Structures are given as structure tokens and as C-alpha cells.
Amino acid sequence: KQEVTQIPAALSVPEGENLVLNCSFTDSAIYNLQWFRQDPGKGLTSLLLIQSSQREQTSGRLNASLDKSSGRSTLYIAASQPGDSATYLCAVGSGGFKTIFGAGTRLFVKA
Amino acid sequence: EAQVTQNPRYLITVTGKKLTVTCSQNMNHEYMSWYRQDPGLGLRQIYYSMNVEVTDKGDVPEGYKVSRKEKRNFPLILESPSPNQTSLYFCASSLSVEGANQPQHFGDGTRLSIL
């Protein structure tokens, strides 16, 4: 059964710092991996989607990488800002068109 | 505006009283899905649908029903709600699963409390 783990569970950094969020999965047979952002009391906003054949995707200050063989993905956020404070979730598209989520990393960027 | 709309946004009800949470998308998406989000457990998939009349179970389907009679709508039905179904529910859709390169778009959520 596919399991997705996100480390750390929470992170507090000063404004301007570059940071990395980690996501690991147990079964490498995935067809995509997606990173989301969730603000308190809100729905999920898609940030980046990486297909299984890709190694990375970039959007603005965000870069996501995927290493299927090791079961890992990272989300890199450059020059963090207070507006980046949110919970970041990764989700893998796995067998039978299911989607499995990690528990998330709660990020707080201090001004 | 492209969106996924859930109704109601908030609902307090009692054990055993049947309820339906509606989900509608205006993007002509084939794939739709329901999730529940609980503290410490993250989001877990309840049911998903690859197209009209095609549905399948996610990881936590017990106590829930779904139907997909039209492409745009994917209601979640709780025939006999129980307190352990108190949760935050999200509906999502994406253009196609087979393409595997389409992001999922989420609704704003439905907070359901069952007393």
C-alpha cells in the first residue's frame, strides 16, 4: 500500500531564507506527483505537478524535483516571504488512479 | 471563472439523518474525486470517478456513496451519518487521468459536524 510521508511536520524560517520541503513515498510505481498549498480554512491550490517521466518542474520561486527510484520529491522555495506561510502538501497519483496525500508541512515565514 | 463548487460549506446534523454534499465543476473535467481531511491524518480519498457512470473506491469509502450521472456533478451521499464522519470534505476535479499531466483543482471544502 502506498504511503506518503512529509518531513518536517512544521518549519519556521526568517524571511529571505531558501528552504526545502521533503516528500517520500513507498511505492515508486506512480504516474505523477503534485505539490499543493493550503491556507487556513481554505481549499488546496495546485503549485506544481511532475509527471512520472519528468525530473523537475519550476514556477517562479518554486522548484520541485522527483526521484522515483529513491521514492523522493523535494519542493524548493527561494527567497521565502511571509506570504509563503501555509501548509504544503504533496500527493502522488498511484495505482488505479488513486491519489495519496502526505500529512503536510506547516511553514511559517517570519518577517 | 473555472471552479469547483461545493454545497453546503457548513453543515451540522444528527446521527442517522441522510445528507448529500453536492459538487459541481464547470471545466468539462473527466476526473472527479472526494477527500476528507482530519487533523493528524491529512487528506484521504473517499471515492473517485474517471468519467460518467465510472466510479471506484478510494482508501476510506465505508459509509459513503457517490454517483456520476452527469459529467459536471459528483455528489457525496451519507446514507446514515455517524459522528466519526465529522470532518472537512473536499471535492476535486482534473481534466483527464489518462493524460497524467493534469493538476487537480479543489473546491473550498465542506465542514460537516455530526452530533
Which one of A44, A93, A98 has the shortest CB-CB distance to B58? A98
Asked if B56 lies within 8 A of A96 by C-beta distance, the reply is: yes
Q: What is the rounded average pLDDT of the residues B68-81?
A: 97
pLDDT band at B99 (very low <50, low <70, confident <90, very high): low
Residue of B nearest to A47 (CA): B103
Residue A42 is predicted with a pLDDT of 85
Asked if B56 lies within 8 A of A101 by C-beta distance, the reply is: no
- Report the gap between the CA of B31 and the closest CA in chain A (Å): 9
Asked if A100 lies within 8 A of B59 by C-beta distance, the reply is: yes
Residue B2 is predicted with a pLDDT of 78
Q: Are B106 and B29 in contact (CB under 8 A)?
A: no
C-alpha dist (Å) from residue B112 to A11, A40, A90? 29, 17, 24
**Residue A11 pLDDT exceeds 60:** yes
Residue B97 φ/ψ region, left for φ over 0, alpha for ψ in the -120 to 50 degree band, beta for the rest: alpha
Asked if B48 lies within 8 A of A97 by C-beta distance, the reply is: yes
Mean pLDDT of all residues belonging to chain B: 93
Helix (H) or strand (E) holding A11: strand A10-14
Which one of B59, B90, B104 has the shortest CB-CB distance to A34? B104
- Please tell me which residue, B41 or B23, carries the higher pLDDT value: B23
- Checking DSSP bridges between strand B110-114 and strand B10-13, what pairing results, if any? parallel
Measured in degrees and rounded to the nearest 5, phi and psi for residue A79 equal 45, 65
- Report the gap between the CA of B101 and the closest CA in chain A (Å): 6
- Report chain B residues whose CB lies below 8 A from the CB of A32: 100-101
CA dist A8 and B34 (Å) reads 26
